Structure 1
Amino acid sequence: MKKALDPSELYKPCNIEHFHFKSTEELEDVDIFLGQNRATDSIQFGMRVGQRGYNIFALAPSGTGKLTTIQQLVKQEAAQQPAPSDWCYVNNFSAQAKPKAIKFASGKGKEFQDDMEQLIDELSVAIPAAFDGDEYRSKTEEIEEEYRKRELNEINQLREEAINSHIILTETPTGYAFAPVDDEDKIISQEQFNKLDKEKQQQYQKSILELQQRLQKLLKKFPAWRKETKRKLQNLNREVAALAVNHSIHDLKEKYAKHPEVLSYLEDVDDDILQHVRDFIPHREQQIVLPFMEAAQESNPFKRYHVNLIISNGERKSAPVVLEDHPNYANLLGRCDHQAYMGALVTDFTMIKPGALHRANGGYLIIDARKLLMQPYAWECLKRALQAGEIRIESLERSLSLVSTSSLEPEPIPLTLKVIIYGDRLIYYLLNLYDPEFQDLFKVPADFDDSVDRIDKESDYAKLIATLARREKLRPFGPQAVARIIEQSARLTGDAEKLSTHLRSIKDLLTESDYWAGFHGHDIVAGSDVQQAIEHKIHRLDRIREKMYENIHRGTVMIDTDNRVTGQINGLSVLQLGEFMFGQPSRITATTRLGNGKVVDIEKETELGGAIHSKGVLILSSFIASRYARKTPFSLTASLVFEQSYGQVEGDSASLAELCVILSSLAEVPLRQDLAITGSVNQLGQVQPIGGVNEKIEGFFDICKQKGLTCEQGVIIPASNVKYLMLRWDIVHAAKNGQFHIYAVENVDDALEYLTDIEAGQQNEQGEFPPESFNGRVQKQLESFNTLKQKFLAKEK
């Protein structure tokens, strides 16, 4: 019989002789992306390719440190790039709903904004001062007096002609009226007028009618004269404003002579000031000097000349790196804010706010894929911006045609940046499969490894621990502590030859170890502190495991750990609850009888078995038929079930146990109940590796320990799983003391020999097994079933 695994094969300790330091304070910092060469090369490639569409999707489970790695790499690359341009939004005087965007060199946008603020300050003083001068007053009074004299002269002339006809012109609240007078210039009353002779009455009436007609013609001239006067005043205002404005704007035009867009804007400002001069004249002057002009005036007429500097990179020395933590539609594209005014919401170009695309333009934008996809229409708006190569600010309501009210339509800004999205692998594969535009926009996947080879990497990993400890401001770690962390890292990967790159788990372990070091008053974290952190975390999470093991110990769940039973075996499974995994032994039983070659999987028949488990059952049934009934009918019906299992059964790691228990029932040979077994099997009878081997072994050990170790108990595992073993120290010590045994098998025959203590037996040239061997007994039983079947068929005939 083969021997159990040597205790040295059950755990691969970290050799602290390779550590030449007393604490991690002596170790230098390293990049935290240890062992991520593939991912870092991909990110650097994506950032340096200048063509459109070569954006990056970093795929890895959360907690692997991909965001920190991305930020570090992107900042290194951004440091070599120049600062991008500034962008301003200014008023579009011809179409105020469509503000104009102006591009400036880095830092020049702020300078232009300051220049315009200074111009506004100068004009806010110069323009009112120009209109408040004596010269302006005298000119406006002269124009107004000219109008009044002209109007008065015409009225007086008409009044003199009326007096010559013994008629006077009077003013009434509703206008002008004519009335006849006597020789003493007294108004003739109606009674007196009726006493006059008819000829005199007709003469008065004729004169009044002629005068009224002339008055009507004269009154029709007054509005034209007013308009003419108004034009003269407007021209005067423009001349006065031009004198106040031209000097300041002329200086700006000279300064920005090489910037056509700014020159054009300054021309528009100049024209707009002259066209809206009345907005800059104080109300008092309008009421006194221009009584017939509109009194409406903006609260801040200079607001439309402000500059909305949405992006300023003057203080930046390199390209921007923006991490958008809340990538919704508005935060990506920007927005136009509103303010309440007299019961309505109003907006203008000064309320345009930048989004993450604006801030990252010319640099790098980093986004969490899950957060991006969770926000309505954010993914579509990002794709649209990347495809169009421009940032078009538009409200979501307007984009979806949910509102028809007028709103701002800012001029789009050209977009040049690299987008790095990070998320789980599943998100990447789903987008790749279901979004036809995804491959056009994100051509560079950066796939982060979950683990790194342990060989020759322990020293580098120690430096990584030192780096993380310093970043988290933790106590230094001693060599024993570092060694224990490395061992636990290998345990996290489920492979003794690998180390975990899941930085969140490592940082959590460092933090909790630091806590226990402080609790015990240690200046340097010791190995015992790390061990206590590991055990305390398990204690926090293992309530369910404790209850399940208690049920086994009390006999509620039936698991035997001694004796031998035919058609019964202990299989092993793994349960994962959150971040905690533990092994769970399960009793598997089988019955066999004469039949038609079918293996009944009760789990599948009750819809509790998954597809992979059903596949494993079909494989083992094929193995039995091909080995024992190659030349004869397969006259067997077998039933398999996981006893006291009330949930889904999935996976093929129990197929070896299922095969052994069926063969036990066939051969009527009892199996050892002090051994548990795990492993999958193929059609050739070879045992294949499975997952969770450490947890499975520990689960059965804990049950055996509760019931009492007999020095015979153990676990059978696939030989290919030996390199994954990182068992707890109590199991290693038990193995050293001969209290518990781990057996590695390569095929079904090896497992049967351990379980039955009977030689499996090999076929001879005729395909026969030795009669007393286990396989010979199986073969004999199948031949017996076949003989019985033939007798039944003969009786039926």
Structure 2
Amino acid sequence: MNPDPLSPDQLYWHCPLDWLPGKAETERDIERLPLGQTRALEALEFAVEMPQDGYNLYVAGSVGLGRHDMARRQVDAWARQQEAASDLCYIHNFEFEHRPRALMLPAGTARQLQHDIDDLLEHLLTSIPDTFRSEEYRARHDALKQAVEEREEHAFDELVERAKALGIGLVRTHSGYTIGPLRDDDFISVEEFAKLPEEEQQHLKELIDQVNADLRDTLGQVLRWHERLAEELKQLDDEFMHLTLDERIDWLRRRYLGSKPVQAFIENIKREVIQNADDFRAAGERGDKEGIALGKLIRAPEFTRFRVNIVVDNGGADGAPVVYEDNPNYHNLLGRIEYESQMGTLFTNFSLVKGGALHRANGGCLILDAHRLLMTPYVWETLKRALRSREIRIQPLELQLGLLSTSSLEPEPIPLHLNVVLVGERWIYHLLKAHDPEFSRLFKVYADLSEDIARDCDSVAAYARWIDALAHGEKLRPLSADAVARVVEQAARVSADAQKLSLHRERLADLLREADYWCHREGDNRIRPEHVQKAIEKREYRQRQLQERMQEAVERDILMIDTAGEQVAQVNGLSVIQLGDTAFGRPSRITATARLGSGKMVDIERETELGGPLHSKGVLILSAFLANCYAPSAPLSLSASLVFEQSYGPVDGDSASLAELCALLSAIAQVPLRQGFAVTGSVNQLGKVQAIGGVNEKIEGFFELCQARGLDGHQGVIIPASNIQHLMLKDEVVAAVRAQQFSVYAVAEVDEALALLTGLEAGSPSEDGSFPEQSFNGKVQQRLRILEETRTRLLRRELEAEILPPAPVAENREKKPDRDRY
């Protein structure tokens, strides 16, 4: 008995308008959690609130599902309830310059500290020169110098008098001191000294040596006085520097009383300023002469070590930081050390240390795209190392790769406390799970986003609110109730299931934007169903050029597809061509041959390496079905072949196995099949027809071909009964079915498909396994029996030919010499 065709109501499930919420309810619920993602949201909430290490999160879902938006929104809600993270800044290490010190300060303190230090430097650049120009300082400074000069002058005068008493003259000149014997208060010339008696000469020499010794002693004493003067002047400078510094330094100490690292930094600044007061004095005087602003002076290289390099400023942040790094390369993630060029030489210091995404997200959450992260060299291992060690260590990539031999900075590591959220597709998660042992220890939480939700009254109402929320967020025109219903129906179509609604946010938002565009073009102030329909049709039109070319090839009989008449061992199969987010159905001619053989089933697609493993599996199932159904107790004496005609590319999937089976059985029984039908569906070893994918596109693909050639009411498509729940066909298909110009049949068993294709009863087996002779299965069984008998007869002949002795041959009795004896 042939199954009845499906009714128009079974081909398209309309959305009841009374399922939609009222307008007031829609506006009240405009802000809602992501629809249908309760499981993923619970996983995300668990990950961010879990205090132990390793509970980082992987958010999985297809592109366009709104993964990033959902993760960011949920993490932001959690972050607003947390305390603001610490500021991070680097300061100069006054003991080891190549190891900058890190300061972790309460939020907002780093900017305050930087401002206070800059104010201190500006104050010093003004006050220190003024201090050293003050009258009090100059008076005390000059008094100390004058006292030493007077003592020096007095000591030298005494030495001159003592030498003069000995008859020796001592004179201080620009080049040193002159010592010589005197006569009448004048120095004796060399000639006169040479004329003196030798004893007198020797005596004068001894006196000169004595004066020389006294001079050395005096000069040593004077040197000690100058050294003492230098110390006193230094003490004087320190005294006045303390008068300038102490009040400001004490104020800074009190301001940062709770931070020991800042207290130590302040003490280092005080010590360095006192020791290098001349730098401030000279810079201040230069600024006065040249009119240089203080803000520019404090940025001079000699004052860099006193300043604060802010890496992360969380001042004014509302809760914990949430950072999404769109370009997670090595430096953007871990930070970097920059260099400056001066006179052809590169140099760096602590002020050129720059933070990365890990620094900015520390204390909060870091969101990364898994695919971009893994596609960037060295980043995945760097992220794992940071999570494993719980610290951020800025190291140049060149140093890690052994490409940098010069010394560089070694900034102090930062303790790391954050949650990492990886967002990506499911296949990436499972690859990491299978091939990276550390992944399971570092990312213990998996949030799998739902692709769709059930289509019932409550979910449709929630979906309608979601549609209005998207339109409101995009600032689009409002949708009428029937327009919302049409969008809901399209969401079911996109999900390829009439009982489901797609949750692909981006695709839904695109539909609303494009419907709003056509609404604007037509001058309407409200989006209506015709605008939604036009947006759908125009998008399809923009992408269907390839489909039209293939349709044209079939209409011109370049690709041979029959839509009328009957043919033996030939059937129309249906496949789907997927190009990006566009899919369309394509009919294909499937043919089969059956002849006497040893039971071998030849899949030409597999033999030519065009058939995929799933298609090969389907063909092998056909062989098992034949043996089980028609020859359970005897071998199949059959050789058969199957092929997709005019197919020049890879073929995979088992959705054509029902069509292949029908073509094969037709070839065996020599019963023609109706070419006005196209068949899709997979089949198992017991003859049950199983669901397939792309059923809407397959039906519509064959319908368009039949429509182009002219609908005659005898054309249709045979689909699995389990695919009825997936049907959301286009209006023109439903209209043709309502006008009885086209039919869609749903079958649960192979026999039902055979009855439709042949017009014969399939037939049921008797107790001994035989089918009625006039049934289709009976004809198949009869042909297989004939092939078996023929094969048995041929084997018997071959066996008899091997057993019977050959006919005798007359012997030549003439004795011939045995030439080979010798």
TM-score w.r.t. length of structure 2: 0.89
Deviations 1:163-218 (A, max 9, x none): 76666657576x666677876836746x7777778777777777777777877787
The aligned counterpart of 2:816 is none
Deviations 1:368-412 (A, max 9, x none): 212222233222222222222222233322343432333332222
Alpha-carbon distance in structure 1 between the residues aligned to 2:117 and 2:562: 88
Alpha-carbon distance in structure 1 between the residues aligned to 2:604 and 2:448: 41
1:719 CA drift (Å): 0.5
The aligned counterpart of 1:278 is 278
Find the partner of 2:665 among 663, 666, 672: 663
Q: Is the 8 A contact 1:23 1:478 kept in 2?
A: no
Q: Residue 713 in 1 paired to residue 712 in 2?
A: no
The aligned counterpart of 1:289 is none
Comparing 701-710 and 276-285, the one that deviates more? 276-285
Alpha-carbon distance in structure 2 between the residues aligned to 1:562 and 1:285: 104
Comparing 618-627 and 508-517, the one that deviates more? 618-627
Structure 2, unaligned stretches of length 5 or more?
287-297, 800-822
The aligned counterpart of 2:250 is 250
Q: Cα distance 1:778–1:224, how it changes in 2: closer, same or farther (>3 A)?
A: farther
1:176-215 correspondence runs (5 A): 185=186, 188=189
1:247 CA drift (Å): 2.0
Q: Cα distance 1:152–1:73, how it changes in 2: closer, same or farther (>3 A)?
A: same
Aligned Cα root-mean-square deviation (Å): 2.9
Deviations 1:505-548 (A, max 9, x none): 00000000000000000100111111111010011101111111
Alpha-carbon distance in structure 2 between the residues aligned to 1:625 and 1:211: 136
Q: Is the 8 A contact 2:21 2:461 kept in 1?
A: no
AA matched with 1:406: S
Q: Cα distance 1:315–1:299, how it changes in 2: closer, same or farther (>3 A)?
A: closer
The aligned counterpart of 2:589 is 587
Comparing 92-101 and 649-658, the one that deviates more? 92-101
Comparing 84-93 and 585-594, the one that deviates more? 84-93
Alpha-carbon distance in structure 1 between the residues aligned to 2:410 and 2:318: 32
Alpha-carbon distance in structure 2 between the residues aligned to 1:158 and 1:54: 88
Deviations 1:485-522 (A, max 9, x none): 11111110100000110010000000000000000001
Alpha-carbon distance in structure 2 between the residues aligned to 1:154 and 1:285: 38
Q: Residue 418 in 1 paired to residue 415 in 2?
A: no
Q: Is the 8 A contact 2:26 2:465 kept in 1?
A: no
The aligned counterpart of 2:810 is none
The aligned counterpart of 1:268 is 268
1:238 CA drift (Å): 2.0
1:499-514 correspondence runs (5 A): 499-514=501-516
1:220 CA drift (Å): 7.5
1:380-399 correspondence runs (5 A): 380-399=381-400
The aligned counterpart of 1:342 is 343
1:227 CA drift (Å): 4.6
AA matched with 2:262: V
AA matched with 1:365: L
Deviations 1:306-343 (A, max 9, x none): 23333333312322222222222222223333322332
Alpha-carbon distance in structure 2 between the residues aligned to 1:777 and 1:78: 74
Q: Cα distance 1:180–1:540, how it changes in 2: closer, same or farther (>3 A)?
A: farther
1:273 CA drift (Å): 2.4
Comparing 513-522 and 240-249, the one that deviates more? 240-249
SS in 1 for 2:764: coil
1:762 CA drift (Å): 1.3
Deviations 1:441-499 (A, max 9, x none): 21111100111111122221111111001110111111221111111111101000001
Alpha-carbon distance in structure 2 between the residues aligned to 1:496 and 1:239: 89
State the identity %: 46
Q: Cα distance 1:213–1:549, how it changes in 2: closer, same or farther (>3 A)?
A: farther
Q: Cα distance 1:604–1:221, how it changes in 2: closer, same or farther (>3 A)?
A: farther
Deviations 1:677-722 (A, max 9, x none): 0111111111111000000010011111111212101111111011
Q: Is the 8 A contact 2:87 2:107 kept in 1?
A: yes
Q: Is the 8 A contact 1:162 1:169 kept in 2?
A: no
Comparing 760-769 and 580-589, the one that deviates more? 760-769
AA matched with 1:795: R
The aligned counterpart of 2:455 is 454
Q: Is the 8 A contact 1:127 1:245 kept in 2?
A: no
Deviations 1:59-111 (A, max 9, x none): 00111012221222122222222222333333322223222223333333433
Alpha-carbon distance in structure 2 between the residues aligned to 1:479 and 1:61: 29
1:421-440 correspondence runs (5 A): 421-440=422-441
Comparing 41-50 and 684-693, the one that deviates more? 41-50
AA matched with 2:232: K
Alpha-carbon distance in structure 2 between the residues aligned to 1:187 and 1:332: 87
Alpha-carbon distance in structure 1 between the residues aligned to 2:499 and 2:790: 54
Q: Residue 539 in 1 paired to residue 524 in 2?
A: no
Alpha-carbon distance in structure 2 between the residues aligned to 1:778 and 1:220: 132
SS in 1 for 2:707: helix
SS in 2 for 1:437: helix
Deviations 1:540-588 (A, max 9, x none): 1011111111111111111111111111111110001121100011111
Find the partner of 2:756 among 754, 757, 767: 754
Q: Is the 8 A contact 2:468 2:479 kept in 1?
A: yes
The aligned counterpart of 1:636 is 638
The aligned counterpart of 1:68 is 69
TM-score w.r.t. length of structure 1: 0.92
Q: Residue 604 in 1 paired to residue 594 in 2?
A: no
When the two structures are aligned, how many residues end up with a matched partner? 785
Find the partner of 1:693 among 689, 692, 695: 695
Q: Cα distance 1:134–1:755, how it changes in 2: closer, same or farther (>3 A)?
A: same
Alpha-carbon distance in structure 2 between the residues aligned to 1:273 and 1:408: 24
1:123-522 correspondence runs (5 A): 123-145=124-146, 148=149, 171=173, 185=186, 188=189, 227-282=227-282, 299=300, 301-456=302-457, 457-522=459-524
Deviations 1:94-129 (A, max 9, x none): 223222223333333433333333333333333332
SS in 2 for 1:671: strand
Q: Cα distance 1:210–1:592, how it changes in 2: closer, same or farther (>3 A)?
A: farther
Q: Cα distance 1:579–1:203, how it changes in 2: closer, same or farther (>3 A)?
A: same
Q: Residue 549 in 1 paired to residue 547 in 2?
A: no
Comparing 724-733 and 422-431, the one that deviates more? 422-431
Alpha-carbon distance in structure 2 between the residues aligned to 1:89 and 1:630: 83
SS in 2 for 1:766: coil
Alpha-carbon distance in structure 1 between the residues aligned to 2:78 and 2:790: 80
Q: Residue 726 in 1 paired to residue 735 in 2?
A: no
Alpha-carbon distance in structure 1 between the residues aligned to 2:563 and 2:156: 129
Q: Is the 8 A contact 2:17 2:482 kept in 1?
A: yes
The aligned counterpart of 2:111 is 110
AA matched with 1:313: N
Deviations 1:760-786 (A, max 9, x none): 111111111111211111111111111
AA matched with 1:555: D
Q: Is the 8 A contact 1:574 1:581 kept in 2?
A: yes
Q: Residue 615 in 1 paired to residue 617 in 2?
A: yes
AA matched with 2:107: S
AA matched with 1:740: F
The aligned counterpart of 2:803 is none
1:248 CA drift (Å): 1.8
1:642 CA drift (Å): 0.9
Alpha-carbon distance in structure 2 between the residues aligned to 1:272 and 1:739: 97
1:236 CA drift (Å): 2.6
The aligned counterpart of 1:292 is none
AA matched with 1:523: N
SS in 1 for 2:437: coil
SS in 1 for 2:186: coil
Alpha-carbon distance in structure 1 between the residues aligned to 2:300 and 2:713: 95
Q: Is the 8 A contact 1:592 1:636 kept in 2?
A: yes
The aligned counterpart of 1:559 is 561
Alpha-carbon distance in structure 2 between the residues aligned to 1:538 and 1:790: 59
AA matched with 2:769: G
